[in-house]
Amino acid sequence: MDFELNDEQRLFRDTLRDFADNEIRPVAQEWEATDRYPTEIVETMKDMGLFGLTVPEEYGGLDVDMVSFALVFEEISKAWMGIAGILGSHSLACWTIARHGTEEQKRRYLPDLATGKRRSGIGLTEPGAGTDLQGIATTARRDGDHYVVNGSKTWITNARYADPLPVLVKTDPSATPAHKGMSVLLIEADTPGFTVQRDLPKLGYKGTESCEILLEDVRVPAENLLGGVEGRGMQQVLSGLETGRINVAARSLGIAQASYDEALSYAGQREAFGKPIHDFQAIQLKLADMAIKVQAARLLVYWAAAQADAGKRVDMEAGMAKAFASEAAVECSLAAMQVHGGYGYSKEFVVERLYRDAPLMSIGEGTNDIMRTVIAKALTSGKGKIG
């Protein structure tokens, strides 16, 4: 049993850490406060090949192992979680195309997606359907060699840059159960009727946009049906979300680690009654609790990633990692604010941003209540085993 990164993973982590320290952390506070898009950081990520994390090598990607994949989101989120969001949705789209696309779709899109020349996201959520994806209302009616798409999507990360955007639609709205009539279409950005509307205002998760999308009689070539067969969209999306939950779990770990780091540092610098506050037992207890949660989250995240690398289905493992790590992020960010006292409530200190970024982690990629039902289903069916 080995709980250590291998040499290649350690070197990769160090490279990511240097990138985050040198290019993200120095500008994160200012750019987050002004909601400035991090164009320069995106260009560096292109040069590093990070847009090809989940693209097979034959199409020009890095095709990293899942532990290394988790390291990317952990290290970047320690500096600024919003940057990780730019890579997260893109990587999910690439993974979905690579695993489920036709050979022609892979050749057409993956090489440019790997370099960042093209970027992507994933069009799932609608104003009336989030957790219940079978409740989506967006339809795609077959008309000769095209599908005619009508509907709307919301909370779409990378919406203004996605080309193509994989969009979950109902190709057979009358199907029972509903998932048998659901498909994914790869919709290109310049398609008439495809309109990216307003950017949604957010508490945190700045740096990347989250938008509403309107689809009005959008004509999509039938060749852009993911995998070339109707009715497989829900399965395609759900298989991708296993990877997505490792991504969100790793982002959560990054927030929790950063919260601990900030609290530990501040507790050593701040003095009260003539001595550093880390000498007071009340602060020591908070630091110890934070350290326990961070390390437990790390082990769960890396375990889920390692199980995925072993070729196993990891809906239970990824669900556990995502639920625990996201709650650790929320709890550690609040504890870090408390350690900082009044300064923790100031926008001049990093912990205020961490506190605003953390809650999304327990909501995105499936709420933690849903994660618990996924875990319980695996346990009661015998597919998931503990101990």
Are 156 and 177 within one domain? yes
* Chain mean pLDDT for the chain: 97
Are 250 and 363 within one domain? yes
Residue 363's contacts (CB-CB under 8 Å, 6 or more residues apart) are none
Residue-level pLDDT at 200: 96
Residue 218: strand pairing partners? 149
Identity of residue 120: S
pLDDT in tens, 21-77: 999 999 999 999 999 999 999 999 999 999 999 999 999 999 999 999 999 999 999
Q: Which of 74, 230, 262, 365 does the annotation list as catalytic? A: 365
pTM for the model stands at 0.96
Question: Is residue 365 annotated as a catalytic residue, yes or no?
Answer: yes
Are 258 and 226 within one domain? no
Are 290 and 372 within one domain? yes
Residue-level pLDDT at 20: 98
Are 201 and 310 within one domain? no
Please indicate, yes or no, if residue 98 is contained in any of the structural domains. Answer: yes
Q: At 287, which CATH number?
A: 1.20.140.10
Q: At 158, which CATH number?
A: 2.40.110.10
Question: Distance (Å, rounded) from C-alpha 130 to C-alpha 375?
Answer: 19
Across the beta sheet with 194-199, what order do the strands follow?
182-187, 165-170, 139-143, 146-157, 210-221, 194-199
Question: Distance (Å, rounded) from C-alpha 273 to C-alpha 282?
Answer: 14
Task: Give one DSSP letter per residue of 24-84, joined into a string.
Answer: IHHHHHHHHHHT---HHHHHHHHHHTGGGTTS-GGGT-----HHHHHHHHHHHHHH-HHHH
Are 226 and 242 within one domain? no
pLDDT in tens, 2-35: 889 999 999 999 999 999 999 999 999 999 999 9
Q: Report the share of the chain in percent with pLDDT over 90.
A: 97
